[in-house]
Amino acid sequence: MRNDTEEQVLTTLDQHDIKLPQDGLTREKIRSRAFAFQFEANESLSFRIERHPTMYLADMGVRGSDASPARFHVLTEYRLDLSDRTWDVQELDSTFEYDWWMVLEAELGDTGMGVVLRDQIREVRNAGDSEAAFEETFASLIDHWEEKFDEYEGRKVPVEDKEAILELLVETLREEAGVD
């Protein structure tokens, strides 16, 4: 159920055909996810939206879960000056979060690269020098992970989170390949 302030903001945006900022904001996102609405007649309107940018495509997560394995939480305030129809967009907060088990499933499980990796893991296990075979076989994948978890859309993944994710993935891969 919408409150009066929210209705005033939505009605004003619709009735005056106001152009939205070019950052992916849509009227549907405002209707479904905005909160903290404020409206000052003939002066301004504002609201906040929390977005969750992620380095995972919609179909790359974990089956049965709507959450992304690794994502940012970005709180943004949108304020429109009604006199000249200019937007002031302020990012209020940005944090990074990941679920270790979902990252493992997305990267190494059967829904991700895991199917392809199974054969490579077998080859490393059967190699005479498993350490050298591991490095040769998985160096480019590890480089890919280092790049993937470095930043997304200009947002840096905190170093401690990046290092923890990389350690988790590499150590799990080493364990599965039987490399000490």
Element (H, E) at 91: strand 86-98
Rounded to 10 degrees, the C-alpha dihedral 148/149/154/155 comes to 160
- For helices 114-126 and 100-108, the axis angle rounded to 10 degrees is 80
Element (H, E) at 73: strand 70-81
- Distance CA(56)–CA(106), nearest Å, equals 9
Question: For residue 59, what pLDDT is reported?
Answer: 52
CATH number of this structure's domain 4-98:
3.10.450
- Distance CA(78)–CA(46), nearest Å, equals 5
- Distance CA(99)–CA(83), nearest Å, equals 45
Question: For residue 115, what pLDDT is reported?
Answer: 74
Q: Give, for all 180 residues of the chain, the pLDDT tens digit.
A: 568 999 999 999 999 889 999 998 999 999 999 999 999 999 999 999 999 998 886 555 555 556 789 999 999 999 999 999 999 999 999 999 999 999 998 899 876 577 789 899 999 999 989 999 999 999 999 999 999 999 998 999 999 999 999 999 999 999 999 997
CA 98 to chain centre: 9
